[in-house]
A and B are shown apart, each in its own frame.
Chain A
Amino acid sequence: MNEQELIEKIAYNVIQGRVIAEDEGFDEGLEGQPAVTELMEQAVEQNIDAKKLVMECLTGSMEDVGEKYDKGIYLIPDMLASAECVGAAMDILGPRLAKAGIESKGRFVLATVAGDLHDIGKNIVGIMLKGAGFEVIDLGNDVPADRIVEETRKNNAQFLGLSALLTTTMREMEKVVKALQNEGIRDKVRVLIGGAPTSDKFAKQIGADAYCRDAFHAVDVLRKMNI
């Protein structure tokens, strides 16, 4: 396969949301054919420029996917599948990205706060952010405030995402924001919150920077922050 064919095939498979060969796509009959992982590995072997791969295979394709979602052609599983493809591709490109002058959009620490085990939404946010070019450090669920603050400092994260599903645990978010202030790093990190009981009003009340109603909104909010 020549370079152009390979690039087109990767882009097509991102839109199809096929991470590995055994995945089904949006169109019928793709199972078993090489997908983003296999094709990207081949591209690396062929020494195709990493910047070209990112620009022509990943960025444009995700825009296509976003448009399809906006038009109702794609549903959330389709978006997530494509975002996962981008994440997988970025992992394969790894160190080549920096060499090619492609910088991460920032380090993003994610956590579901203490006392809360509900992490589906947070995981979806993780996939979407990775697909959007962020370096995601996922701390998991039921994470105490002091650990969140510690990891934010240690990783020099520019963003912190907090999630909670319960009305009883959402107050933990306020504790995290206060802990960031107490440690003197509040102004170094932007705090985004989300989860069913939270709201824009709640975000303002606890001193967070933004409320995100879902993962797609989170990407949108970050875009509006000019990131």
Chain B
Amino acid sequence: MRDLFREGTIVKPYERLSQEHIQRLHNASLSILNDLGIWCYNERAAGLFGDHGARVWEEIEHGQTVWRVSLPAGLVEEAVKKAPSRFFLGARNPKNRLLLDSQIPRIYFGTGSETNTWIETAMEQFVSTGLHDVAIQAPCFTELRGNTKLLGRAAQLCENLENLDFFIRPVNIQDPDVTEDNHDVNKFFASLNNITKHVQAGLTRLDRLDDVVRMAEIIAGGKKALRENPIISFIACVFKSPLQFVRDTADKVFAIVKAGLPLVISSSPQGGSSAPIQEAGMVAQINAEILAGITFTQLIREGAPVLYGSVPVRARMDDLHDFYGCPEFNQYNIDCAQMARFYKVPCYSTAGVGDAKVPGMQALFEKLFTHLYVAMSGAQYIHYAFGLLDRTNSFCPVQAVLDDEQIGKIKHCLRMPKVSQTDVDDAVKMIAKVMGSSHRLFARHARKAIHAGDVSKPYRFEARGMSDRVIEYAVTRLAEIESRPAPHLSADVLDKVYAEIPGLLPRLRRE
């Protein structure tokens, strides 16, 4: 299994920041953490920081105790150094494992968000009111409330999207029989029963972590097998920006790190509301928040596998909503990828979100704009990349199919150049051969590159005539993908999972 993992795409990172910029932002973040400190709402976390040399004092805020924690630079720097630079995220199918190496800009793309709304697409025919013999096909959209069945569909779809490398549930489960208590086990199960790629999610209830971990152990083949091949991992937004360490999330981080499973320390400040809108201020603050979070994980257990989870966004100035498809978003995220590389911690980043509510030209622009730039940054683990619309509020499977095609092209575009001495020698030989022929055509000599996958294919959804049929073709492709069987767990594994894990909905065995 050691050598099995998804190839991803190793890129030459585009860097906005110079080494001097990085050092300056690093110093600013350390200064924020030491001079200003954080507002910690978790007593145990404050105690842990205090035990390792942080200055901790109590304050009363709205009648409640809050611990102010000043983190010395040395404590942060030493702790961050202990975070592993390289580790695997596992998968049911070992070929789908992900190798995250902070020093190798190998990019992977996956889903994200937990949207409440699923957007179904159907093509309908519309006849011109003026010219009755002229008709066009146009998409019509229906909003559905997210549920377990749709989550299973999303996972089965994502299993079959070749450029999708990992799965974060893109739809929330809101079935009448899903409660807060059984939410975690059912969301992980509906995902794991329909996809063999890595599955990552947040944790709703701390007291169901053991059940989720036990389920993953059964599926992975045991306790040791799960730690060697962590088929699941978690996301913890431990900071509420600015600089407020959240009580219940901190408790979840304690438990997840102790369970020995990988974790994203994610922060998502909004430039213009919960963080400065200016690039320097945004990056200094989010970096401080993530560094404090990573420090926390390493104080709990040295060497705990953790991702530098940067989701910096900008506020729209007309309504203060998140604003993803804009230049500042790319700037913030590219900077964060560089900061993560500086700390030698793999980077969890964000791309493919926009304000568009339905698939179409606006969605294409917003998504391409960030898919491409964030991929160029070399961030290892890029989430939110498939199917999201209306910022992070809707998931549309047809959009996910379109995103898969787009991301495939980006991965191809950013491949490392093939210009070895052998490549050059072969090319010169080929040119000589063709120039010696009567027709001077290189077409025949393209075959080797075509068959090796070095030559990209035309856009999958192109139309030949005078009409744009992209969405229509994507709807057809989605139907074809959804007709394939889901990679359900074997009957004996399902029996064991259902026997040991309380709260699983019986109908999910078949969904």
Interface residues of A (CB under 8 A from B): 17, 19, 23-24, 26, 28, 75-78, 80-81, 84, 120, 123-124, 126-127, 138
Q: List 15 A-B pairs, Cβ < 8 Å.
A: A17-B447, A19-B444, A23-B444, A24-B447, A26-B447, A75-B450, A76-B443, A80-B441, A80-B444, A123-B441, A126-B438, A126-B439, A127-B441, A138-B438, A138-B439
Minimum Cβ distance to chain B for residue A106 (Å): 19
Does the CB pair A77–B439 fall under 8 Å? no
Q: How far is the CB of A215 from chain B (nearest CB, A)?
A: 10
In the complex, chain A residues whose CB is within 8 Å of the CB of B450: 75, 77
The answer to whether A77 and B443 touch (CB under 8 A), given A24-B448, A26-B451, is yes
* Chain A residues whose CB sits within 8 angstroms of the CB of B448 once the complex forms: 24
Instruction: Assess the A78–B447 pair: CB atoms within 8 A.
Output: yes
Q: Does B60 contact A (CB under 8 A)?
A: no
Among A17, A19, A77, max chain B CB count under 10 A is at A77
A138–B440 CA distance with the chains assembled, in angstroms:
13
In the complex, the answer to whether A120 meets B447 with C-beta atoms within 8 Å is: no
Chain B 436-472 interface mask (CB, 8 Å, partner A; 1/0) = 0011110111111011000000000000000000000
Give A17 to B445 CA distance when docked, in angstroms. 10
What distance in Å separates the Cβ of A52 from its nearest Cβ neighbour in chain B?
27
Residues of A close to B444: CB separation below 8 A: 17, 19, 23, 77, 80-81, 84
Find the A residue at minimum CB distance from B451. A26
Query: Would you list the 4 A-B pairs with minimal beta carbon distance, nearest first?
Result: A123-B439, A81-B444, A77-B443, A77-B446
Give the distance in Å from the alpha carbon of A21 to the alpha carbon of B443 in the complex: 18
Closest chain-B Cβ to A104's Cβ sits at a distance in Å of 18
A17, A19, A81: residue with the most chain B Cβ atoms closer than 10 Å: A81
On whether the beta carbons of A81 and B441 are closer than 8 Å, the reply is: no
Cα A23 to Cα B434 in complex, Å, equals 12
Contact with A along B411-423 (1 / 0, CB 8 A): 0000000000000
- Give the Cβ gap from B44 to chain A, nearest Cβ, in Å: 60
Is there contact, CB below 8 Å, between B438 and A124?
Answer: no
Q: How far is the CB of A129 from chain B (nearest CB, A)?
A: 12
Residues of B within 8 A of A75 (CB): 450
B446 — which chain A residues lie within 8 A by C-beta? 77
- Residues on A with beta carbons closer than 8 Å to the beta carbon of B440: 123
Contacts A124-B439, A124-B441, A138-B438 known; 7 new A-B pairs at CB < 8 A: A19-B444, A28-B451, A76-B443, A78-B447, A80-B441, A80-B443, A127-B439
Of the candidates B443, B450, B451, the one having the most CB atoms from chain A within 10 angstroms of its own CB is B443
Q: Which of B438, B441, B445, B451 contacts A120 (CB 8 A)?
A: B441
> CA of A19 to CA of B447 in the docked complex: distance in angstroms?
13
**B443 CB contacts on chain A under 8 angstroms:** 76-77, 80, 124
How far is A227 from B445 in the complex, measured between Cα atoms in Å? 31
Across-interface contacts of A120 in B (CB, < 8 A): 441
Nearest B residue to A19 by beta-carbon distance?
B444
* Complex alpha-carbon distance, A26 and B451, angstroms: 8
Q: How far is the CA of A120 from the CA of B439 in the complex (A)?
A: 8
Looking at the assembled complex, report how far the CB atom of A208 sits from the nearest CB atom of chain B, in whole angstroms.
23
Residue in chain A with minimal CB distance to B440:
A123
Most buried by A among B439, B440, B441, B450: B439
- Name the residue among B439, B441, B443, B444 with the largest chain A CB count within 10 angstroms: B444
A24 CA to B446 CA in the complex, in Å? 10
Instruction: List, in ascending order, chain B residues with CB within 8 A of A78's CB.
Output: 447
Q: What is the 8 Å Cβ interface bit string for chain B, positions 349-375, against chain A (1 contact, 0 not)?
A: 000000000000000000000000000
Q: In the complex, which residues of chain B have a beta carbon less than 8 angstroms from the beta carbon of A81? A: 444, 447
Complex CA distance for A124 and B438, rounded to whole angstroms? 11
Q: How far is the CA of A163 from the CA of B439 in the complex (A)?
A: 15
Write out the residue numbers on chain B whose beta carbons fall within 8 Å of the beta carbon of A26: 447, 451
With CB as the reference atom, state the residue of chain A lying closest to B433.
A22
Q: Are A77 and B438 in contact (CB under 8 A)?
A: no
Contact with A along B165-190 (1 / 0, CB 8 A): 00000000000000000000000000
- In the complex the two chains form, what is the Cα distance from A84 to B434 in whole Å? 13
Residues of B within 8 A of A24 (CB): 447-448, 451
Docked Cα-Cα span, A19 to B436, in Å, equals 14
Hey, which chain A residues are within 8 Å of B445, CB to CB?
77
Minimum CB distance partner of A79 in chain B:
B443
A186 to B439, CA, bound (A): 28
Instruction: Give the distance to chain A from B461, nearest Cβ to Cβ, in Å.
Output: 16
Q: Give CA–CA (A123, B443) in the complex, Å.
A: 11
B443 to chain A: closest residue by CB: A77
